[in-house]
Structure 1
């Protein structure tokens, strides 16, 4: 006679189902078009910002580059409502919103891309070491702006 108390059919704990109740990522919504500066209204980009600092919210997945996931987006700096480089390049950094971690940002030279009318901007990117919920911070002199994105594998 065989008596089994508290038996399990899975011999390996790794075969047990895992809980997948990850906290949702509260991604930042775009600023409504009516609340954006006039210089940004002629573009199809979703913008988030205030004052003289505006981010183009990425509408595409990051690209895999080595061991990182690189997300690119434009940053616009304004003076009197017009894009300008006169205040210098903003600083961009990122930190995990759902756990510990940081990611470096990079800002290129002030540029104008095809199809942006007369809009000039700073091309920016962040090299994320892992997928997750990330908060990107931009600094321009005393102005600070943050937006949150969900970074997933491409």
Structure 2
């Protein structure tokens, strides 16, 4: 089940992650974060684990985008799949300014995970998007 909500999180996003985990048997955890790594919602992880993972997922997606630029026809990054000894990790952009990471058991069908992740992002991208934050320059030095 999704973890406690923090500022900027909504029950609707939690429902989407819960639904994904029910459809994709073997889902271990899911992190939905802004593209700079701030966690918006998570499933299967407490906040202390989700926060650094959100930052790491952001770094993975940023690195993959940088590598894509070296292709003759850079078309961006669709999805990153990383295989670990006991789980697989899928990372994808999730609407404007957002990303999603899904970890599954090693035996879970990777093609099905990719399909379901793509379907989730396509059908709900406006709800997954993260608005650009206001400029912090309004902060002043003193009273």
TM superposition score normalised by structure 1:
0.28
Bigger radius of gyration among the two: 1
More strand by share: 1
